[in-house]
Amino acid sequence: MSRIHLLNSRLANQIAAGEVVERPASVAKEVLENSLDAGATRVEVDVESGGSKLIRIRDNGSGIPSDDMTLALARHATSKIASLEDLERVGSLGFRGEALASIGSVSKLTLTSNANEVGSEGCSAVCEGRDMEVQLKPASHPQGTTVEVRDLFFNTPARRKFLRKEKTEFNHLEEVVKRLALSRFDVGFSLRHNGKVVHNLKAAAAQTERQRRVAAVCGPAFMEQAIAIESEVPPYRLTGWVGLPTFSRSQADLQYFFVNGRVIRDRLIAHAVKQAYRDVLYHGRHPAFVLYLELDPAQVDVNVHPTKHEVRFRDGRAVHNFIFSSLHRALADVRPGQELERDPLPQHMLSTPDGMAIDTATGEIRSQSALAWGASSASRGAVSGRTYSHNATTAAQVSGQMSGYARLHGMPAAVSEEEVPPLGYALAQLKGIYILAENTHGLVVVDMHAAHERITYERLKAARADTGILSQPLLVPQSVAVSQREVGIASQHSELFERLGLAVEAGGEESLVIRQIPVLLRDSDVEQLVRDMLADLIEFGSSERIEAHMDEILSTMACHGSVRANRRLTIPEMNALLRDMEETERSGQCNHGRPTWTQMGLEELDKLFLRGR
């Protein structure tokens, strides 16, 4: 081995770059965060060849004073924090003072800035050589900063090899822009790739403008099928949008979580969200959400990871609880008649007063729009946004009063519009599978087995909540080998286990004994459940596994105990089912997360028949 020597600064920076500069997307993230920290209200991103050839980001922020240009490119130099106290309540996105130095060490970087100083129109800086000496020269730039990064990894061929196809790298970079655009509605963003505009998002102040931005970033279908969240339990506040369970995804690719404006990927949060959706999501599907958590910066440590994608909460358990209960409540309320309160969306389809429909995106004529609508809603296979759509009221005006048929069957004689229940009154049964009903908006179609299954399931759960969990002693107590730590956790949570019908005791330093289990779990692998619960308790401070497993069993029971397809129901029976659905939490989806009903408004029917053209 040779003697110890100090690394030259380019090499030291290149080592640091290993942590933060993985690919073009990470460059964009660091540079954009600097723009936001500088108070920019508009940022323009220009990219060539997925970012490996060029990333140019221009902002209108505060700019960098000429005298600070050299420091801006040096490692461990930052204007954002000065003391440990600052570090403990960081308000800016950056604070490590490493990004520009790292990026500069693995690319050809030019920094041009104007801080609006007297006698200067700006200056530009390039750093070169093994010790990264900075070359400064005057330049003309409006107030703000432009960072130009060319030929990323040109001098680190090993890393350059890890870059993917241009398209893939660009997708990652676009994702970074999307996240930041969702985190700061007050800032305008534009993104161009190889000269083509990909996004142009104007600053959004009003709620409708924000929704428009979310729709532009996450797709209009998400906004059409999202519930707005607004929940506050000091010191926490949660806002944003979550997709209806029926708008689930095959991948966890539409999940945005922000903590005090910072994009976060966190296991604790992912777990809380997943738990909230547990009972309403089809197995293996992922929820979609855009959520903002705000709390006192002193309650969260952002300095736990170089890319700051992870955070640590002072009181993780309380955060978990708060997120879970906020979302759980909101999702439980998804049932017929709980129309979503919100401002009109930038809707793709506009209806005109004379009943015409115009596709605002393409200007297509009505018949084509009707076909396009049919195709998209079928491919989504979900309760579409129509259920909650705003133009439903216009259909109500047309529909006038309920059909005489419904009135014949035990309904009030004169039915005014307000008295018609959300799911209306049954008209008939189709093929022994669907109930057809009429409400003020038009036609309601209900999958009767799916609906009944959810109702039975919720009743079984309610009954369990009333009577508590029946539990039975094991003839032969079961001993489980665990770690010392797990023995400790088990005794610490003995009350929780008891409440769930489990008697779990320490059997020795490294073993637990299960003496009693819930009757419902007779045939389950209780040992594995207890192990998994302990793992949850260690990681998240809570566990719903036992409940989840019991719910699964109740759900299976509900499935068997529910009306099967092909059973004839009488009209009063059908009406009773509709009323039950309106009363039952989560009745918008069956136990497996499939929709239980859908609405076909008069307008949609009209469209199908080209009426009113």
Minimum distance, C-beta of residue 301 to ligand ADP, in the bound complex (Å): 16
Closest to ligand ADP by CB, 63 vs 240, is 63
Q: Name which position in 94, 424, 442, 595 contacts ligand ADP (CB under 6 A).
A: 94
38 interacts with, out of ligand ADP, Mg ion, none, CB within 5 to 8 A per kind: ligand ADP
Determine phi and psi for 563, rounding to 5 degrees.
-60, 130
Q: By CB under 6 A, is residue 440 in contact with ligand ADP?
A: no
- Kind plus residue range of the DSSP H or E element containing 457: helix 448-467
Name the residue number minimizing CB distance to ligand ADP.
Answer: 94
214 interacts with, out of ligand ADP, Mg ion, none, CB within 5 to 8 A per kind: none
Site size for ligand ADP (CB under 6 A): 22
Q: Name which position in 50, 63, 94, 336 contacts Mg ion (CB under 5 A).
A: 94
Any residues with CB less than 8 A from the CB of 608 and at least 6 apart, and which? 370, 374
Residue 530's alpha-carbon distances to 317, 486, 504, 533, 550, in angstroms, are 20, 10, 9, 5, 13
Q: Name which position in 44, 46, 98, 224 contacts ligand ADP (CB under 6 A).
A: 98
Which listed range, 92-100, 123-131, 168-176, 244-252, lies at the site for ligand ADP (CB under 6 A)? 92-100
Minimum distance, C-beta of residue 36 to ligand ADP, in the bound complex (Å): 9
Minimum distance, C-beta of residue 99 to Mg ion, in the bound complex (Å): 4
Give the distance, in angstroms, between the CA of residue 320 and the centroid of all CA atoms in the same chain.
15
Residue 199's alpha-carbon distances to 23, 87, 364, in angstroms, are 21, 34, 24
Minimum distance, C-beta of residue 75 to ligand ADP, in the bound complex (Å): 8
Q: By CB under 6 A, is residue 124 in contact with ligand ADP?
A: no
Which listed range, 91-99, 311-319, 567-575, 601-609, lies at the site for Mg ion (CB under 5 A)? 91-99
53 interacts with, out of ligand ADP, Mg ion, none, CB within 5 to 8 A per kind: none
Closest to ligand ADP by CB, 29 vs 172, is 29
Minimum distance, C-beta of residue 127 to ligand ADP, in the bound complex (Å): 12
Which residues on neighbouring strands pair with residue 45, listed in sequence order?
Answer: 57, 191
Task: Specify burial of residue 228 (Cβ count, 10 A radius: 0-12, 13-18, 19+).
Answer: middle
78 interacts with, out of ligand ADP, Mg ion, none, CB within 5 to 8 A per kind: ligand ADP
Q: By CB under 6 A, is residue 306 in contact with ligand ADP?
A: no
Minimum distance, C-beta of residue 98 to ligand ADP, in the bound complex (Å): 6
Give the distance, in angstroms, between the CA of residue 444 and the centroid of all CA atoms in the same chain.
30
Name the token pair of 240. 């944003």
Q: By CB under 5 A, is residue 442 in contact with Mg ion?
A: no
Q: What part of residues 22-81 is at the interface with Mg ion (CB under 5 A)?
A: 34
Q: Name which position in 18, 19, 22, 97 contacts ligand ADP (CB under 6 A).
A: 97
- Name the residue type at position 271: H
Q: Name which position in 49, 70, 79, 120 contacts ligand ADP (CB under 6 A).
A: 79
Q: What part of residues 35-64 is at the interface with ligand ADP (CB under 6 A)?
A: 35, 38, 59, 61-64
**Pair type for strands 434-439 and 442-447:** antiparallel
Q: By CB under 6 A, is residue 99 in contact with ligand ADP?
A: yes
- Collapsing DSSP to helix, strand or coil, 520 comes out as helix
* Whether 99 contacts 146, CB under 8 Å: no
Whole-number Å distance between alpha carbons of 147 and 32: 10
Q: Measure the CA dihedral 12/18/24/30, to 10°.
A: -70
- Collapsing DSSP to helix, strand or coil, 210 comes out as helix
Q: By CB under 6 A, is residue 243 in contact with ligand ADP?
A: no
Q: What part of residues 125-184 is at the interface with ligand ADP (CB under 6 A)?
A: 145
3-state helix, strand, coil in the chain (%, to 5): 40, 25, 35
Nearest by Cα to 40 from 172, 155, 175, 146: 146
Q: By CB under 6 A, is residue 279 in contact with ligand ADP?
A: no
* Whether 498 contacts 518, CB under 8 Å: no
Minimum distance, C-beta of residue 34 to Mg ion, in the bound complex (Å): 4
Kindly list the residues in this chain that would bind ligand ADP in the complex (CB under 6 A): 30, 34-35, 38, 59, 61-64, 72, 78-80, 94-101, 145
